[in-house]
Chains A and B, each alone.
Chain A
Amino acid sequence: MNSKEASPYNKNNIKGCGIGLRIDHFDEIEAQKPNIPWFEILSDNYLLEGTLQREFLSHIRNDYPVTFHGVGLSIGSTEPLNMDYLKRLKKLKDEVQPAWISDHLCWTSAHGVVTHDLIPLPYTQDIVKHIVDRILQVQDFLGEQIVIENVSSYLQFKATEMTEWDFTNEVTSRSDCKLLLDVNNIYVSAQNHKFDADEYLVAMPAERVAEIHLAGYEDKGTHLLDTHSRPVTEPVWDLFKKAIEHVGDVPVLIEWDNDIPSLERVIEESTTAHEIQQQILSSNRKTTYGH
């Protein structure tokens, strides 16, 4: 085995079902080094140097492969790319060597204000071009393909010209970036906007999917809210099964950001995801051999 293959940070080492690294679990992870295949870190929380989080990350990095997930790129914003943010991200990337860097297909900041939330965009050709240009700039600056995630949304625009899945396809293919397929987000948006989640899912470019996200939402009566505060729901597990059939064996991640339970409970959720994934993959293999 050569040294490159032996590196735990090789992209190919991100396999199975990981979990999002949260500060609540820091001490337990450090003390017990649980058997978790990989961690996704919320990169924005580690961009300031000298912090306790940064120090902890350096420990985690010695034991686990990691990926970066951020909200600060604001790829759909009309203000210039935040170069200070990008420089910090690149520096962190060089230091930690994540398998990949992901962010969201939306905007979070504009006109000097940072909302820290994921705000959707109208799906138009103009916006496709705008975002593609910005993804290309980011990829050029970071020196690698980035991974872009579909977001949950609670509103739609009068100016929209195409479906979200056509928009996502155009953006990813024209910018040649990867896709983080958030199955929960598809379900939440499908319920909120009354479209067919299956139609969305099968339209996704399987070959571009680098990762799948799973999380729990809250039912607010009039709409579903993507809170990452609950277990994954049954309809989302069902959609996840279809996603595995569509994209095959890709890494899966459990996100749990609010009302965070014990580490054991989050691992339990990722184990469920892993078992479902293996079941679908195994059944697909049997079908393939059978033919």
Chain B
Amino acid sequence: MDFTVAYNAAHEALPYMLGGVVWTVGLIVGAMLLGLLLGVPLAVLHVYGPWPVRRAVSVYVWLFRGIPILVQMYIFYFGLLSWLSGMPLFSGLGLDSPFVAAVLVLGLTSSAYQSQIFRGAIQSLPAGQLKAARALGMTDPQAIRAVILPQALRLAIPAWSNEYSILLKDSALAFTIGVVEIMARMRAIASTTHEPVSMTFLAGIIFFALTWVGVKALSLLENRVRIAGYTRQGAA
């Protein structure tokens, strides 16, 4: 193969591919936030809830961890959401957009995984913490908000960085329902230019760089919120 041709093709494709980064980042940020928003309460319910609630959380986690992302994309985009958006109540909400479907799928799945991360972090805290808070006269919800979660969220950051890199890779599946992120653009350009080799490498490099940037950013965050005496080891 001719490296000059390959290089030039990659060079030309770069701006278009980088345009996909916006969509990819949008997917990840949306999914991580949704995952966090749902994951924290799910974790709290999983640890402190009454047993039917704990059971329900387990089923939720089992469902989203057991069904492949790709299949979920199809269920949500081609199935549930297109059906919902056909109903007058939900029409005009943009539920039929591939981006919304992809964020929902990635976010819900992530919430299942994140709830497990936070549950582990909460359970790794010494039991004395909750007792001490109760002894001060706090109610359980107060104790969880003021004492347990601030510690658990810090402990969860290393696992969160792992979750980020998983989401980043899974987000590439959004192309199957038509989100024009990096993978979708790579496929399109590869087929028009007949340069699939340089295009896969280009896409690979972009994903690699995004992984690196995200992991770096999260470790900066970890340092920023660090409390003296709290170390990474504590998160195991």
Q: Do A and B bind each other?
A: no
| Chain B residues with a Cβ under 8 A of chain A | none
| Chain A residues with a Cβ under 8 A of chain B | none
